[in-house]
Structure formats: C-alpha cells, structure tokens
A and B are shown apart, each in its own frame.
Chain A
Amino acid sequence: MRRIGDAPAVRRVLIGAAVVLSALFLLLPLVAIFAQAFSQGVGVFWGNVSNTYTLHAIALTLGVALFTIPICLVFGVALAWLVTRFSFPGRRLLQTLIDIPFAVSPVVAGLIYLLLYGRNGWVGTWLDSYDIQLMFAWPGILMVTVFVTCPFVARELIPLMQAQGSREEEAAVTLGARGWTLFRRVTLPNIRWALLYGVILTNARAVGEFGAVSVVSGAIRGKTNTLPLHLEQLYQDYNTVGAFASASLLALIALLTLAAKASLEWRASRREAFI
C-alpha cells in the first residue's frame, strides 16, 4: 500500500524543485563567492586576506563575537529561567519584550544607540564628561551586536524549558540539591543542546551583523571596521576581488558554524537513538 501523497510523479517533481531551487539560490552564490575570490589566483587572494586592514577587521569581528557570546549566554539562560520557572506580574510582557531586537530593524537599533550613547546623546553627554567614548569605538559595536543577538539563546531555551517543566528540579531540591549543583547537574544537562544551538545562532549573527554596526562604528579602517563593513568598503572602491576575498572569509565562518551545528544535531540524535 502506498501512503497518501507518495505518488512517484509527485515525489519526482518535489525533489526536483527542491534540488533546483537550492542550487540556484544557495549553492551557486556560495560557489560564486569562492570563484570570484580566487579569480586572479591564490596569490592575489592571499594578498587581500593578509592585508593589515583585513586582518584587523577579522580580529575585531571575532573579538566582538567572543565577547557577545558569553554575555548573551548568561542573559539568555537567566531570562529563560526567570520566565519559565517563576510566575510574576508582567511575565507575558517580558516574554514579548524579548522579541524586540528581532522585530526592530537593526539600523533603527543602531540609531537609537547612537542617540542615547553618542557624544551628544542623553547618556553620552554624561559619559563624555568622564572621557568615556562608546560610539564609533569597539564598545559601541559590542553593544549593538549584543542587542541584536540577545534573543537567540532565550528563544531556544524558553519553549524547551516550558515543555520540560520544573519537576526534575523540584525532585532534585527535595533530594537536597542547592543552587549551583542543581543547575549544573539537573538543569544544564537537559538544556545543553538547545543552549549550544542558541550559541551557534548567536555567533553566526554576531559575525555577520551589518546594519546596526554600520551606524555606530563609523567604519574607520584599521580601527572600527568589522569584516562585513570592510567588505562593503572594498566593494565601493571597485576592489571586487578584495571584497570577495573578505566575503569568502565570512562564508567560511558560516560554513564552519553550520558544520558545528550539523555535528551537534547528529550527536544529539545518535544519543537519543541510543536511549
């Protein structure tokens, strides 16, 4: 007996459409990036990549991601814990507020930060009197990146923690477990895959963020230029090969991230199959 919707013709059409579409929209651009980057040979590619400004942009981008991830991790876990384990007035409102960074255009987010923390902004004026500059410097880039990426971890955790409920934690408490032990031995093992997945998403977004960062960074070469901004500048300067060399680096980070995610999913499914 054949299952509904499993006619050979239907199957062939659907699979064919999927293959064609992913080739056109996903695979081809990816190949094009690397093809363009290496179009004038490995030497030129290497020259572009090892350029001081490019190296600085790579360092800044990775550095920002390195700081963003732990901040978002702690924030996300704390928020998910708060929302799923306690009931208090305003809980639903808070759950909605988490999504603001997703709902707001990153450029708007950048502008708001500029207005607040810029030299003439509300907080910025006060900070300026202490000689602290946030905007057009790396702290500003970090701030907007955190703003844009902070919902990822919480969004991954909340549905999972809601579904799992707090029974296991209650059981652990009746058995005498205290705060940190409870989190480390009962909560964390149950959420670790979702947590890692959230971190991967956070990393992908932190590395690739353009809109918000472009507003607050000022894009000073060798100072506040992240990889996506650097790429755009090169392209504006008609240095196509240079732009694609940087693009290929970003694509490489994306591919590595995806590979990490796939291997995590594979390990998780293997573990479940074992259980």
Chain B
Amino acid sequence: MSIHLYNIGKHFGATRALEPINLDIHEGELVGLLGPSGSGKTTLLRIIAGLENADRAREPGKILFGKCDVTNVHVRDRRIGFVFQHYALFRHMTVYDNVAFGLTVMPRKRRPSSSGIRSRVFRLLEMVKLEHLANRYPAQLSGGQQQRVSLARALAVEPDVLLLDEPFGALDAKVRQELRRWLRHLHDELNFTSVFVTHDQEEALELSDRVVVMSDGRIEQIDSPETLYRVPKNRFVFEFLGDVNHLEGRVQDGVLTCGDARLNVDLPNGHEELLLRPHEVRLAEAPSIESHLPVTITAISPVGAEVRVELQADWLAKPWLATVRHADFERLALCRGLRLYAHPRQWHRFKDKNSTAEIAARAA
C-alpha cells in the first residue's frame, strides 16, 4: 500500500511541529524518518497512523493510502500496525494475549475462530522466535523480546502499513544490530510498506530503501542512503549524516590560511568554511606543497575495522576526527602526543544554508 501526504502540517498550540509537507512513499518500501529530537519525525509518523490530526489549514491536508483518502478515517480503521517506542505492551496480559488482542477485538463477522486465532498467534510467535515464552508477562521479558512481541502484535492484524516509532532506541548495540537485520528480512519477506522513525543515522542508512531527513519540522532531503551520503542537498544533511571536521579561514590568492595552517584551494578571496568527513583526512609525517596542517594526536580509539584518531591544534576551534586503517596506524606508529600533518583527500563547501555541496577532490 503506497502512502501519499499532501500539505500536512501540525501545530501544538502556538508551536509549529511540522511545516506543511508533501511526501510519497511507494508500495513495499521501507522508509526511515531521520532527524534530531524535535524535528517533527514522530509527529509525522503519528499523523500517518491517525493518532494525531493534521492542522485544518485553509488548504486542508490530505493523506492517501493507495488511492483511498484516509484523512478522516479513524486510526482503528486505517489498517495500520504501530510499534511504539517503549513497546506499550499490555502489562497485565501474557505474551500470547498481547499478540492475540488485535484478533480478539475484531467485529464478530471478521473475527477468526478461537482455534484460528490460536494458530495465527503461534505462527507469529514462531516468526519472532518467542513461542516458548507465550505464557510470560511483558515484565518478565528482556527489552529485545518485548520489542519482538510488540512487532508480532502489530503484525497480527495483517496491516497494510507498518509504522515504527524509534523501534530500537532503548536496546543495547548488539541486540539492535540483530533486530535491524531481522526487521529488514521480515520486510523483504512479507512485503508490507513500512515507515520508521529514528535519530540514529547509521540505523536509517542501514535499514531504509529511502531516508527522509527532517529538521525543525521540515523535510530537508528524501533520497536513497547512498545518494544521501554522497550528494547531501544542504549543510544540515551533510552534518547530520556523520562526523564532520571544520576548517575555517581566509582565502587570499588561492591559499586558505588559519593560524599557522594553510591549504591551497581554488576559491575566490574571502572568508571560507570547508567541511571534511573523518575518512577524508589522511595523516602523514610531512607537509606537502598543497597543504600545511600541523596537528597533534590527543586520543586514539580502535573501533572495528578502523582506528579513530582525535586531532588537536592551535588553529582548530574544535578537535578533528580522522579514521585510519589499522595498516596505516601501525606504519605511522601513531601514539598520543605525536605531531603529524593532515592532508584533505577531498572537502565539501556549502555556499549558504540551503545550497548543495561543492566538492573538491585533491590528489592526496
């Protein structure tokens, strides 16, 4: 079931939570709503679900599921599954009763027989690998198990659309990773349309077919994770999608200077700010004709396949972050207090807040 939003806005009292926005989600797509807290992503999700009403503006907004206008359809008739941030399991019911709830409250005509309910609930519990815990109460389960119960409960009524609010927010890193993969597989297998909210860019990029980046009640960009990462539409998107190093200074005759640091750039004279991702910083023992950026290592942390190195210098307001491969780490014999030179592999520049990036690659 595809989802189309036209001119959907929301105010809470005098505060604007959502600017009037348009959004199209295709059938079978897994879309992530990504943004910092207060960006309106949860409000948007709740409006899609029908738990919140959009503003009744002069030009009223419209929500379509497929070709069906559901703007004024009550949440219980929208055929959605909603997974809440803290699961919202019925604490006085067993796991079995939680999952069966949606089936048992169906109107008598549509309700399956009790044996039908039983077999469907156990099929779902099997799918989330919890059939052995059917008689437990939610408080007896771990966070990850509760999350799986709440997914099974939402899927029991066979919704057309699955909506998830920060589904993995309260779980530890490892369980999170596992559940993410599991959800991705489930989505591919059952092929419903899903929208989920997250503030974790890694989660959004890993899980989504397309990501909607939001800030301050606006949609900043809607794109596939690759495009988003490679061609961010504006500075906010660029900065939100990963760690960013800043280099600020004056450009005079093609040379950007900042304290005792300098970098050859092909830019007109004036004040400039360049942005670099940690993997775009190369470390070497000597400066080059192109760049002279002396830095000191202040912290080293090996994280997975790479080593994260924190760099400090007089000319830097905020320390830089560089990621180094383990081979380079050993070759350069990096240690705290070591003085080195940073070389940008490439850098990004945004003329103003809303312009797209200008990327300059260097031979580094």
Binding site for B on A (CB under 8 A): 167-168, 170-178, 181, 185-186, 189-190, 275
Contacts and interface: CB of A to CB of B under 8 A. Distances in A.
A190 B76 contact: no
Interface centre among A167, A168, A174, A177 (most CB of B within 10 A): A174
Interface string B150-163: 10011011000000
Nearest to A186: B90
Interface of B: 49, 51, 75-77, 80-82, 84, 86, 88-93, 101-102, 105-106, 137, 139-140, 150, 153-154, 156-157
Given A168-B89, A175-B105, 5 more contacts: A167-B84, A171-B84, A176-B76, A190-B91, A275-B139
Contacts of B84: 167, 170-171
A275 B157 contact: no
Nearest to A177: B105
B88 A178 contact: no
A167 B88 contact: yes
14 contacts: A168-B88, A168-B90, A170-B88, A171-B82, A174-B81, A174-B82, A174-B154, A176-B76, A176-B77, A178-B105, A181-B105, A186-B90, A275-B137, A275-B140
Given A181-B105, A185-B105, A275-B140, A173 B75 contact: yes
Given A186-B90, A190-B91, A172 B101 contact: yes
B76 A178 contact: yes
A144 to B, nearest CB: 37
Q: Is the interface of A mostly helix, strand, loop or mixed?
A: helix
A167 B42 CA distance: 14
A174 B101 CA distance: 11
Contact of B88 (A171, A176, A177, A181): A171
Contact of B92 (A171, A178, A181, A190): A190
Given A170-B84, A171-B82, A176 B90 contact: no
B43 to A, nearest CB: 14
Nearest to A181: B105
A168 B91 CA distance: 9
Nearest to B163: A174
Contacts of B77: 176
Contact of A174 (B76, B93, B106): B76
A30 B84 CA distance: 53
A188 to B, nearest CB: 10
A174 B51 contact: yes
A172 B105 CA distance: 9
A177 B107 CA distance: 9
A172 B103 CA distance: 11
A3 B153 CA distance: 46
A173 B88 CA distance: 12
B75 A174 contact: yes
Contacts of A275: 137, 139-140
Contact of B49 (A167, A168, A174, A178): A174
Nearest to B159: A174
Nearest to A164: B91
A179 B331 CA distance: 69
A178 B105 CA distance: 8
A186 B77 CA distance: 19
B192 to A, nearest CB: 15
Contacts of A173: 51, 75-76
B140 A176 contact: no
Contact of A176 (B91, B106, B137): B106
B11 to A, nearest CB: 14
B238 to A, nearest CB: 35
B157 A176 contact: yes
Contacts of B106: 176
Given A170-B51, A171-B84, A176-B157, A189 B92 contact: yes
Contacts of B137: 275
Given A176-B105, A181-B105, A171 B90 contact: yes
> Closest 6 A-B residue pairs measured CB to CB?
A175-B102, A167-B88, A174-B82, A189-B92, A171-B88, A177-B105
Given A174-B75, A185-B105, A167 B80 contact: no
A146 B183 CA distance: 54
A190 B93 CA distance: 10
A275 B94 CA distance: 10
Interface centre among B80, B93, B105 (most CB of A within 10 A): B105
Interface centre among B88, B91, B153, B157 (most CB of A within 10 A): B88
A86 B149 CA distance: 28
A181 B90 CA distance: 14
Nearest to B138: A275
Nearest to A189: B92
A175 B51 CA distance: 12
B86 A175 contact: no
A181 B104 CA distance: 10
Nearest to A274: B137
A175 B140 CA distance: 23
A220 B44 CA distance: 66
B136 to A, nearest CB: 9
Contacts of A186: 90
A4 to B, nearest CB: 31
A181 B77 CA distance: 15
Given A167-B84, A171-B82, A176 B92 contact: no
